[in-house]
Amino acid sequence: MSTMTHRLRRLRQHLLLCSCLLLIAGFSASVHSEDDQGSHRPSDFGLAGFEWSGFARAVAGYLESDGSSFNGYRDNIRVNQQSLLALQPSYHVSDQLSLTGQFVAHSSDDRDSGTEWLYLNYQPSDAWQLRAGKLRMPFFSYSDSIDVGFSYPWITAPVQVYNNYLFSTFHGASASYRRAGLNYALDIEGYYGYFDGDIFAAGSRVDVDAEVKDLRGIVVKLRSHNIGLRLSYHQGENETDLPELQPLQQGLQQAGFNNLANDLDSKGTIRVSQAALSYDGLTSFYKAEWVKTRTEFSLTPEFTGYYFTAGLHIGSWTPHLTYASSSYGRVRSDTALQPVLADPQNPLFPIAAGYYQIFDAIPDGSMDSYTLGLRWDFQFNMAFKAELTWLNETAPRSGFIEPPSSGLFGEDFGNRKAEATLYQLGWEWIF
Amino acid sequence: MRLFLPCLLLLSMPIASTASAEGLKVVANTERNIQLSREQVRNLYMGATLGYGLKPVALPASNRHRSMFNTRVIGLAEARIQSYWAQMRFTGRLRPPTIRLPGRPSRRRRLSASLVSVARSPDCVVPNRLTMLYQAD
């Protein structure tokens, strides 16, 4: 009953936010703006200091599989997984100081609609930019614009990199410095803050209240001619409790297996490293990106993901191909309880069974994917996309393809290598 | 406001009737003697800071001279430029160059109207009060 009430409340929240944003978006479409890169500036409406812009996407997908699901898609057509509408108002107090918000209405139940970011921006000079408030996490090349489908060629950015980041926003401050020389442009960004909210694993929301403190990172972007390089490093102290695991942890401690109990403690340092190299030319583009996440949590000690993509620009058409891959570092369980597991009469058997069941269920496999896509920019601010992605687990339990009725700690991951094909159509709009 | 800043950079209009004879000039209303390389102009139009206080002004996306500028100076397709600016805008990092509609300067942009007309002069001569930063033949 409470679940139904919760869903109805969420539905009302989505509908209300969507209605407000649609009204504003409709107003946007009806008013001619001189700025064909979208933003509606103060002079357009006579609202001193105020400007706004936004983006929307409608995505339909169908998964051809044996009943498994992937990224919320199943073997029926779904349009409510990645579709969204967003509004970004800004108020300019002066040339240097502004306040910016971004409000997003998501169609997916996995994402909360509402304020995605809200920050104060201070630009003392062309080179420096300081921001404070609720900001997007700049983990990877597109992670801070992942909702803006217009900003990248795919409908679904390679999940092995972009669906595995833990959270998308943080509270804190960031400082950026930009400089260009004779043959290069450099952009350095550093940030510090904390995160408190929902976390994601393999694209699905994990039902825990996550807390990451002392969150900090640095992003370096270097561009010369048509070649771009992005390197980043991020670190935070995870202080998240996993209530689902606490009874087992307590049981292990009471039985004297403190080391095993510590295996189930998710707290510790999280480190994320990223590197991306790209070539952006007039008629073609190539990009490779690699990420590695390391934690002190024995269930998810290490994750590596990467992709290579290549495409052509033929007028307003952009066909592209992408290969992506991911793998978990070896998840190792302690062998101390193995003898107990062999003896069902042992009073510690339930504890041992529970401990190994978790390690058996946790994703520790790998997956490759091949994506063939086409983007058509039929207007300067609208694009239509079509995409086909073949997903192939190279080791069972990649964490991305889920058999029916499984969850993060579900029992039905099995030992088979799953495969599926995702067909998607998408429409992207910025205004 | 940025348009009242002393330095305003404009993409000049080509003058000849045939594509092969068309040239591009990038000028600024600054008295400083500045010469930029193609890469610097590209960086400037992609949001980088050169340290001269220059503010780029671009033509609308549908303008064919903008396409020439994209091809010969920026080196990117229009669709890629639009997606780049979408990312910059919606991550709060950069704002795209101000757009100038040919022949329709807005009230706030009248300060630059004379500069716009210079760009359309038949022989593409840059007046004394403007500085030519870059020329692509």
Domain ranges of chain B: 2-136
Give A20 to chain B, closest Cα distance, Å. 19
For residue B2, what pLDDT is reported? Answer: 36
Tell me if chain A has a CB within 8 Å of the CB of B7.
Answer: no
Residues of B in contact with A152 (CB under 8 A): 83, 87
Tell me if chain B has a CB within 8 Å of the CB of A94.
Answer: no
Give CA separation, A217 vs A137, A170, A190, A214, A235, in Å. Answer: 10, 12, 6, 10, 6
The CATH number for A384's domain is: 2.40.160.10
For residue B124, what pLDDT is reported? Answer: 58
For residue B46, give the chain A residue with the closest CA: A185
Dihedral class, residue A152 (left if φ above 0, else alpha if ψ from -120 to 50, else beta): beta
In the block, tokens 């694993």 appear at A201
According to the per-residue pLDDT averaged within each range, which of A95-99, A240-244, B104-108, B129-133 is highest?
A: A95-99
For residue A260, what pLDDT is reported? Answer: 85
CA–CA separation, B81 and B63 (whole Å): 14
SS3 A360: helix
For residue A13, what pLDDT is reported? Answer: 52
Q: Which of B43, B87, B107 comes nearest A145 by C-beta?
A: B87
Contacting residues for A421 by C-beta, under 8 A, at least 6 apart:
A63, A64, A65, A388, A389, A390, A391
- If you average pLDDT over every residue of chain B, what do you get? 70
Strand partners, A90: A51, A100
For residue B109, give the chain A residue with the closest CA: A43
Residues of B in contact with A151 (CB under 8 A): 83-84, 86-87, 90
- Average pLDDT of adjacent 10-residue blocks, chain A of 431 residues: 48 51 49 46 58 94 92 92 94 92 89 88 94 94 94 96 81 95 94 86 66 96 95 94 84 85 87 97 96 88 94 95 91 82 86 86 89 96 97 89 63 73 97 93
Q: Which of B92, B98, B107 comes nearest A131 by C-beta?
A: B92
CB contact under 8 A, B51 and A127: yes
What single letter denotes the amino acid at residue A109? Answer: D
Q: Tens of pLDDT along B24-67? A: 888 888 778 888 898 998 998 898 888 888 888 888 888 878 88
**Sign of the C-alpha dihedral, residues A258, A261, A262, A263?**
positive
For residue B1, give the chain A residue with the closest CA: A95
CB contact under 8 A, A102 and B90: yes
| SS3 annotation, A14-66 | HHHHHHHHHHHHHHHHHCCCCCCCCCECHHHHCCCCEEEEEEEEEEEEEEECC
**Sign of the C-alpha dihedral, residues A373, A374, A380, A381?**
negative
First to last CA, chain A: 40
Helix, strand, coil percentages in chain A from 3-state DSSP, rounded to 5: 20, 50, 35
CB contact under 8 A, B76 and A280: yes
CB contact under 8 A, A383 and B77: no
Q: Please state the separation of Cα B69 from the chain's center in Å.
A: 9
Question: What are the backbone dihedrals phi and psi of residue A397, each rounded to the nearest 5 degrees, phi first?
Answer: 60, 55
CA–CA separation, A152 and A148 (whole Å): 8
Residue pair A347/A359 in contact by the 8 Å Cβ criterion: no
Question: What are the backbone dihedrals phi and psi of residue A366, each rounded to the nearest 5 degrees, phi first?
Answer: -150, 160
Residue pair A177/A191 in contact by the 8 Å Cβ criterion: no
**Sign of the C-alpha dihedral, residues A249, A334, A295, A111?**
negative
Strand partners, A175: A130, A190
Contacting residues for A299 by C-beta, under 8 A, at least 6 apart:
A263, A264, A266, A331, A358, A359, A362
For residue B103, what pLDDT is reported? Answer: 53
Q: What is the signed CA dihedral for A206, A207, A208, A209, rounded to 10 degrees? A: 100
- Give B14's pLDDT tier (boundaries 50, 70, 90): very low
Helix, strand, coil percentages in chain B from 3-state DSSP, rounded to 5: 35, 15, 50
The tokens for A238 are 């995870």
Residues of A in contact with B76 (CB under 8 A): 280-282
For residue B40, give the chain A residue with the closest CA: A182
Residues of B in contact with A46 (CB under 8 A): none
What single letter denotes the amino acid at residue A15? Answer: L
For residue A103, give the chain B residue with the closest CA: B90
First to last CA, chain B: 33
Contacting residues for A11 by C-beta, under 8 A, at least 6 apart:
none
Residue of B84 and A252 predicted with greater confidence: B84
Residue A414 is part of which domain span? 2-430
CA–CA separation, B42 and A77 (whole Å): 43
For residue A95, what pLDDT is reported? Answer: 85
Starting at the edge strand found earlier in the chain, the sheet holding B24-28 runs: B98-99, B56-58, B9-11, B24-28, B131-136
Residues 25-64, chain A, touching B (beta carbon < 8 A): 34-39, 43, 53, 55
Q: Burial level of A399, CB count in 10 A (0-12/13-18/19+)? A: buried
CB count within 10 Å of CB A5 equals 9
For residue B93, give the chain A residue with the closest CA: A129
In the block, tokens 């062998």 appear at A335
What radius of gyration do chain B's Cα atoms show? 14
CA–CA separation, A25 and A331 (whole Å): 48
Question: What are the backbone dihedrals phi and psi of residue A100, each rounded to the nearest 5 degrees, phi first?
Answer: -125, 140
Strand partners, A328: A303
SS3 A254: helix
CA–CA separation, A172 and A131 (whole Å): 8
**Nearest of A296, A321, A307 to residue A239 by alpha carbon:** A296
Give B121 to chain A, closest Cα distance, Å. 24
Give B85 to chain A, closest Cα distance, Å. 8
The tokens for A13 are 């929240």
Report the domain count for chain A: 1
Tell me if chain A has a CB within 8 Å of the CB of B37.
Answer: yes
Q: Pairing mode, if any, of strands A317-328 and A302-312?
A: antiparallel
A349-361 vs A246-254: helix axis angle to the nearest 10?
A: 140
Tell me if chain A has a CB within 8 Å of the CB of B51.
Answer: yes
CA angle A409, A410, A412 (to 5 degrees): 145
Contacting residues for B56 by C-beta, under 8 A, at least 6 apart:
B9, B11, B44, B45, B97, B98
Number of A/B CB contacts below 8 angstroms equals 133
Residue of B15 and A261 predicted with greater confidence: A261
CB contact under 8 A, B101 and A34: yes
Strand partners, A422: A63, A389
